[in-house]
Structure 1
Amino acid sequence: MTQQQNGKKNMIENEQQPTRQVILAGLDQQNENFDYEMTELANLAAANNMTVVGRVVQKLEKPNAATYFGKGKVDELKEALTYYDADMVVTNDELSPSQIRNLEAGTAADIMDRTALILDIFASRAKTKVAKLQVAIAQLKYQLPRLRTSMNIRLDQQTGGGGSFTSRGAGETKLETNRRHIQHQISLLQTELANIEADDETRRAYRAKQSIRNVALVGYTNAGKSTIMNGLVKRFGDNPEKTVFQADMLFATLETSVRKIQLPDKQNFLLSDTVGFVSKLPHGLVAAFRATLAEAADADLLIQVVDYSDPHYQEMMTTTAETLKEIGVGNVPMVTVYNKADKIPEQVYPDRAGDTLILSAIDEASQDLLVEVIKEHIFPDYVTTTLHVPFSDGQVVNELNEQATVHELDYDESGTILKVTLTPIQAARFAQYEMTK
């Protein structure tokens, strides 16, 4: 079963699960993006197989330290839960442990904040070992300060539970034991992840040594990054069947996929499809996925993909910029691609203004324009020169035909004359054959 088929199967299974009716709740603190955030929260809830049946909003300068909402709004929320026959509230902000406890007590419903919702989605979508490790670490870090004080009962007798756990002595609370256990799990998972990251770093170092350029697709979730990658892989990939999963859904993929793009003129580069961003992305996830996003940090060029058909695309670009800054990607050249132009009536595409493109990922002319701009950025130090290769070194001609861009080919009485475009490494390697002017 292919990756595309697996993804479709998982999506169908998710759709078949019974949905949970929830009410969205948020504080309007005069943030100009509040309505957009609430809309996005609804989309996140839908991505987590939830049905939004109601929405409760309160205007406050700052959250109530004890209950997030004011007391009257908590009562209103409880009434809304009864009216809509819902049993869960999803809040637009991350809540403190005490706010969650107090809201649950005041509404007699389960409370899930935005961070927990995103973590839930990531956990359900993680497929590879790396993604599962990253999500598990983020979840445990989120849970650590939220261990219930109701578990804080005294244990008069304790014994080691295996592994590195030993007898802590009488008097330690179960809460402390659980906290220690989670900290130990985090440490183990971080060690395992670090070993994988070391292998990935070795691979990136090898690619850098081979002078293979890396282009990374970045941007908001569901902006069309995977669609762009699949379009280029099908036309120019060294294995056209090796596409990545794509779907019209938030966080369809969580893993960074790297594919080799071999252009008709023999120039090639690596194209990376990275995990999408979302506003208020939990800091724990940003930290945990730093390794996944390392492809972006090490890229020679970033392609920021923007859903041009979304009325909130400017807010999405702001989120992308903030997230890239948070993971330490600030100095990599970037091309901005306004995608999904085919969904905008009367929009002309493909179109270009400097390093800003308007295109449709499913349009071949758009793909060609994108490749042209990529080549301008990542191959500026390529050298076009004329080589004279003696007939005795025929294997060099074969190698140039296979690996370099040969513009012209001719012969004289002693060898083959080739006008070629070479990478810096190739130029140094074949310098002995360069014809003097």
Structure 2
Amino acid sequence: MTSSSSSSQATKRLAHSYPAGLRADALMEEDVAWSYEIDTERDGDQLDRSDRAALRRVAGLSTELEDITEVEYRQLRLERVVLVGVWTSGTVQDAENSLAELAALAETAGAVVLDGVIQRRDKPDAATYIGSGKADELRDIVLETGADTVICDGELSPGQLIHLEDVVKVKVIDRTALILDIFAQHAKSREGKAQVALAQMQYMLPRLRGWGQSLSRQMGGGRGGLATRGPGETKIETDRRRIREKMAKMRREIAEMKTGREIKRQERRRNKVPSVAIAGYTNAGKSSLLNRLTGAGVLVENALFATLDPTVRRAETPSGRVYTLADTVGFVRHLPHHLVEAFRSTMEEVGDADLILHVVDGSHPDPEEQLAAVREVIRDVGAGDVPEIVVINKADLADPLTLQRLLRIEKRSIAVSARTGQGIAELLALIDAELPRPAVQIEALVPYTHGKLVARVHSEGEVISEEHTAEGTLLKARVHEELAADLAPYTPTAAL
């Protein structure tokens, strides 16, 4: 057998066509379908030979635009990218779903996805992520498609980035850098921008390159006196020191900005206002749900990480109880730990909440994976003990069998559609039932001259009944201890 024929057999590509204008949001809602053959006779845990020998093409990832007017409308040159992933565990469908999510991330960042391939391996190659032979094949795909960037579905070490770039001859970035880029584009507030900058510097620090400028900044010679002879700082050492100094400054600024939000949070706690935090996977519909529950008018966009700055709004339960509803940053599978650390102050809204509405996209191919990824981050920020309601959003688009499965698995769950309003009334009633209730039940006759006390009962407590009499307002309510003490002079026992 000739080397050319063996090479053609080693690289198995699946024939496919890319429909024009296919968008990444469709990728997030549809299964990526393709057929393959696999030998069921396996020797232990070894990988199938055909899997190991091939880069698998993933069909349907292309988002290349044929209509030039759409490109002009965007008013920017879109990067042309090829995606590459390493399939180490799980099913091929899991690997394709992960690459489809990477395609959605790439388009959100402003790129055109030309192609996507998966390499089956026990673990990523230590040098080039996919192995030297497959890196050569990837270079051929890059030349064939005319791509200018390769995006890897994982976090690459500095060495892997350098070696893979040396082979494919175009820019190589990993999943972490892509998510950081999206955050940098979407950050609007001063605090959000500072948090993104801190995360970027944490990511950049170990990946600085000398680019040949490794000579000393200071040279010996004795003119400087004692302790000045010998090599000084190299260029890369200077860069690292400056980045560390900037990071320290950024952390101080973020800590100062945190104070304002903490004061507001303490005020709400002092007034005993219950709080609800909306958490969930990115693009699950959290902001849409906030708007549906409160009429807040928060930006809603069918894009990943459209919300970076937390939004807190006032809301009321059907029984008239006041509570706050906070929209938070969306989570994603393998969320970079730099981001979790940088956005920890923002995510404290989740940790301090009395109740978490965990929103999941019911129309996604793998909602259970989304639930697990979000719960991992919730545990990381110390909110694992906060009561949780699983809100299965986009019920109007979801497969009925998927909805039934999720409702059966998640005991405290409800199916809703923020777009159509389906299930919203039931969700409001569930929030009312799950929110912590004031501890003390009182009956008080409050004189009309003390109307502020009645107003406090309405805003801070739960009114059971209210009657206006000749002597004043007769209230039956549940209130917290401080308000109960203020109402004590007007209770029937006080009159006796």
User: 2-side partners of 1:84 and 1:56: how far apart?
Assistant: 13
Partner Cα distance (2:72, 2:446) in 1? 60
- Measured after TM superposition, the shift of residue 16 of structure 1 is 3.3
Q: Which of 220, 231, 243 is matched with 2:292 structurally?
A: 231
Mapping of 1:20-419 within 5 angstroms? Answer: 20-32=79-91, 33-157=94-218, 171-234=232-295, 242-263=296-317, 265-344=319-398, 355-364=412-421, 366-381=423-438, 383-390=440-447, 393=450, 396-397=453-454, 400=457, 406-410=463-467, 414-419=471-476
Assess, with a 3 A threshold, how the Cα gap between structure 1 residues 410 and 318 changes in structure 2: closer, same or farther: closer
**Given residue 288 of structure 1, which amino acid in structure 2 is its aligned partner?**
A
Query: Equivalent residue for 1:3?
Result: none
Moved more, 180-189 or 23-32: 23-32
Matched AA of 1:16: Q
- In 1, the alpha carbon distance for the partners of 2:218 and 2:116 equals 48
Instruction: Quote how far apart the aligned CAs of 1:63 are.
Output: 1.7
Gaps of 5+ in 2: 1-70, 220-227
Q: C-alpha displacement at 1:401, in angstroms?
A: 6.1
What amino acid sits opposite 1:247 in the alignment? E
Query: In structure 2, what is the Cα distance between the partners aligned to 1:37 and 1:358?
Result: 25
How high is the TM-score relative to the length of structure 2? 0.76
Most deviating of 389-398 and 273-282: 389-398
Provide Cα deviations, 1:294-332, integer angstroms capped at 9, x if missing partner.
000111111100111112111101101111112222110
Structure 2 distance, partners of 1:195, 1:27, is 42
- State whether residues 80 and 148 of structure 2, in contact with CA within 8 Å, keep that contact through their aligned partners in structure 1: yes
- Separation in structure 1 between the aligned mates of residue 371 and residue 429 of structure 2, nearest angstrom: 23
Q: Secondary structure at the match of 2:344?
A: coil
Residue 434 (str. 1) matches residue 491 (str. 2): yes
Contact 1:125/1:252 (8 A) holds in 2 = yes
The amino acid that maps onto 2:172 is I
1:369 counterpart letter in structure 2: E
**Which 10-residue stretch deviates more, 312-321 or 424-433?**
424-433
- Tell me how far apart the structure 2 counterparts of residues 399 and 302 of structure 1 sit (CA, whole Å): 26
Secondary structure of 1:117's aligned partner: helix
Tell me the CA shift for residue 362 of structure 1: 3.2
| Higher alpha-carbon deviation: 364-373 or 62-71 | 364-373
Q: Deviations over 1:241-295 (max 9, x none)?
A: x421111111111111111114464411111101000011101001101111000
Deviation of residue 341 (structure 1)? Answer: 0.6
Q: CA deviation at 1:75?
A: 0.8
SS at match of 1:57: strand
- Counting aligned pairs with the same residue, the percent is 38
Deviation per residue, 1:333-392 (Å, 9 max, x gap): 10111111111366899x998621111123446222222111212243355542222455
Letter in structure 1 aligned against 2:477: V
Cα distance between partner residues in 1 of 2:343 and 2:73? 24
Aligned residues of 1:151 and 1:174 also touching (Cα < 8 A): no
**Greater displacement, 98-107 / 402-411:** 402-411
Kindly tell me: are residues 100 and 203 of structure 1, through their superposed partners in 2, closer, same or farther at Cα, counting changes over 3 Å? same
Contact 1:151 1:175 in 2 (8 A): no
Q: Go from structure 1 to structure 2 and tell me whether the alpha carbon gap of 1:73 and 1:379 turns closer, same or farther (over 3 Å shift).
A: same
Q: Report if aligned partners of 1:266, 1:403 keep a CA contact under 8 Å in 2.
A: no
SS of structure 1 residue aligned to 2:396: helix
- AA aligned opposite 1:185: K
- Asked which structure has the greater CA Rg, the reply is 2
Q: Distance in 2 between matches of 1:60 and 1:354?
A: 37
Q: Give the letter aligned to residue 246 of structure 2.
A: Q
Retained in 1: the 8 A contact 2:438–2:478? Answer: no
SS at 2:269 equivalent: helix
Q: CA RMSD in A?
A: 2.8
Q: Secondary structure at the match of 1:303?
A: strand
Partner of 1:238: none
Matched position secondary structure for 1:321: helix
Q: Which amino acid aligns with 2:331?
A: F
Which letter does structure 2 place at the counterpart of 1:360?
S
For residues 389-414 of structure 1, what are the alpha-carbon distances to aligned partners after superposition, in whole Å with 9 as ceiling and x for unaligned? 24554554466567665554445564
Distance in 2 (alpha carbons) for counterparts of 1:13 and 1:254: 27
Q: Contact 2:278–2:359 at 8 Å: present in 1 too?
A: yes
Aligned amino acid, residue 429 of structure 1:
D
Which deviates the most, 30-39 or 315-324? 30-39
CA distance in 2, matches of 1:398, 1:330: 35
Name the SS of the counterpart of 2:483 in structure 1.
helix
Distance 1:169 1:383, change over 3 A: farther
Tell me if structure 1 keeps the 8 A contact 2:440–2:481.
yes
Matches of 2:137 and 2:291 in 1, distance apart?
Answer: 48
Change (3 A) 1:431 1:169: farther
C-alpha contact 1:355 1:373 (8 A) present in aligned 2? no
Output the TM-score relative to the length of structure 1.
0.86
Could you tell me how far apart the structure 2 residues matched to 1:192 and 1:403 are? 34
Residue 149 of structure 1 aligns to a residue whose secondary structure is coil
